[in-house]
């Protein structure tokens, strides 16, 4: 049976009951448990260390509260800190209409699926005639996939199966969306197995033409410590405005989100929780905080 972090903290803090104050000494074991929990949720080791240091600063010197156990007291502090770091109140999209969104990320992260999911969600929220543009010129299957999803969700669709000119496809998408009176245009771009310069340059050229209001990195929630490098590279090259974390319906504990948010400052805006187009939610920091803590 898995012990929860709360159980582990109770046991690490069993000698603290009755002691007047939380100290560096009596907190050492508990903070070690917190660090281990973060690492096993795939939080980047540097982020885990910073987080524990911050919690230590807050708890050391605090009175042991009456009516709650020291374990509960620490869990509350950790959860609040985690929620704050994950960024409550920052998850809103740019309110501009028409809203232009560029989706970027590695191959297989869930970009194409999330493009349709975002179109569907925002259509329900009142954006008129959402339009999606297939800018992956390398994989015909990706274009077909987006077309099927667009049809199923009644989203406008632009592609060019013969062109290798991504900026031109972007321009055509903008024109088609404008003609249709779209208030939302989402550009699905190509991904690779790892970041390479050609891919980044191609997205930069598309960005120059499209001038997006949002540049969203789609990241697999199961991505471990590598998540930070991926997000940093995309952020430095493109200036990300948000993150979609996918596949949170699986076993992933979502530590990648904390790492990315802590190191790049890019806010998490949505999460993918399944393969179906409706399996998509606005991000709730409290839910992810409890998932990361286990
Ligand atoms: P892309 O290469 O980044 O465009 O990735 P795709 O959108 O093609 O997604 C890759 C795979 O991940 C597909 O099989 C999707 O159905 C799946 N997928 C995407 N998002 C989610 C999610 O939130 N949960 C689950 N379980 N699968 C997802």
pLDDT digits 0-9 by tens, 180-226: 999 999 999 998 877 888 889 999 999 999 999 999 999 998 887 78
Kindly report the pTM of this predicted structure. Answer: 0.91
Q: Is the distance from the beta carbon of residue 189 to the nearest atom of ligand 1 less than 6 Å?
A: no
Contact 145, 184 (CB under 8 A): no
Q: How would residue 1 be classed by pLDDT, with cut points 50, 70 and 90? A: very low
| 239 annotated as ligand-binding | no
CA of 47 to the centre of ligand 1 (A): 27
pLDDT top residue among 15 and 1: 15
Q: Quote the pLDDT of residue 89.
A: 56
Which ligand 1 atom is at minimum distance from the Cα of 115? 7
CA of 271 to the centre of ligand 1 (A): 12
Contact 93, 214 (CB under 8 A): yes
Which ligand 1 atom is at minimum distance from the Cα of 106? 3
**Residues 286-293, mean pLDDT to the nearest whole number:** 84
What token pair was written down for 157? 């669709």
Cα separation, 199 vs 206, in Å, equals 11
Distance of CA 75 to the CA centre of its chain: 23
pLDDT higher than threshold 70 for residue 42: yes
Q: Quote the pLDDT of residue 224.
A: 77
Contact 120, 278 (CB under 8 A): yes
pLDDT higher than threshold 60 for residue 43: yes
Which residue shows structure tokens 């245009």? 185
Cα separation, 282 vs 270, in Å, equals 4
Q: Quote the pLDDT of residue 59.
A: 86
Cα separation, 44 vs 98, in Å, equals 37
Which residue's C-alpha comes closest to atom 16 of ligand 1? 275
CA of 239 to the centre of ligand 1 (A): 24
Q: Give Cβ neighbours of residue 201 (< 8 Å, ≥ 6 apart).
A: none
Cα separation, 197 vs 218, in Å, equals 18
Q: What is the pLDDT of residues 228-258, one digit of tens each?
A: 889 999 999 999 999 999 998 887 778 888 8
Residue 291 CA neighbour count, 13 Å, CB half: 22
């Amino acid at each position: 049976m898995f012990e929860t972090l709360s159980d582990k903290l109770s046991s690490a803090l069993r000698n603290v009951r009755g002691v007047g104050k939380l100290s560096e000494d009596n907190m050492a074991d508990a903070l070690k448990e917190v660090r281990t929990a973060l690492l096993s949720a795939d939080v980047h080791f540097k982020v885990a260390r910073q987080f524990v240091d911050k919690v230590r600063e807050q708890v050391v010197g605090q009175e042991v509260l009456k009516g709650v156990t020291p374990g509960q007291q620490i869990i509350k502090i950790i959860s609040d800190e985690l929620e704050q770091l994950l960024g409550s109140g920052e998850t809103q999209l740019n309110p501009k209409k028409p809203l232009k969104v560029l989706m970027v990320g590695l191959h297989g992260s869930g970009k194409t699926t999330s493009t349709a999911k975002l179109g569907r969600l925002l259509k329900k929220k009142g954006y008129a005639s959402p339009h999606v543009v297939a800018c992956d010129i390398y994989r015909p299957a990706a274009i077909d996939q987006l077309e099927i999803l667009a049809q199923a969700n009644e989203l406008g669709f632009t592609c060019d199966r013969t062109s290798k000119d991504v900026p031109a496809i972007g321009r055509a998408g903008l024109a088609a969306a404008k003609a249709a009176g779209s208030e939302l245009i989402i550009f699905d771009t190509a991904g690779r197995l790892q970041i390479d310069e050609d891919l980044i340059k191609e997205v930069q050229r598309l960005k120059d033409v499209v001038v997006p209001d949002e540049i969203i990195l789609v990241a697999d929630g199961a991505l471990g410590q590598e998540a930070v490098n991926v997000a940093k590279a995309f952020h430095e090259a493109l200036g990300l405005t948000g993150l979609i974390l996918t596949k949170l319906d699986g076993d992933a504990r979502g530590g990648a989100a904390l790492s990315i948010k802590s190191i790049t400052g890019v806010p998490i805006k949505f999460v993918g929780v399944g393969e179906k187009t409706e399996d998509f939610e606005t991000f709730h920091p409290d839910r992810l905080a409890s998932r990361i803590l286990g």
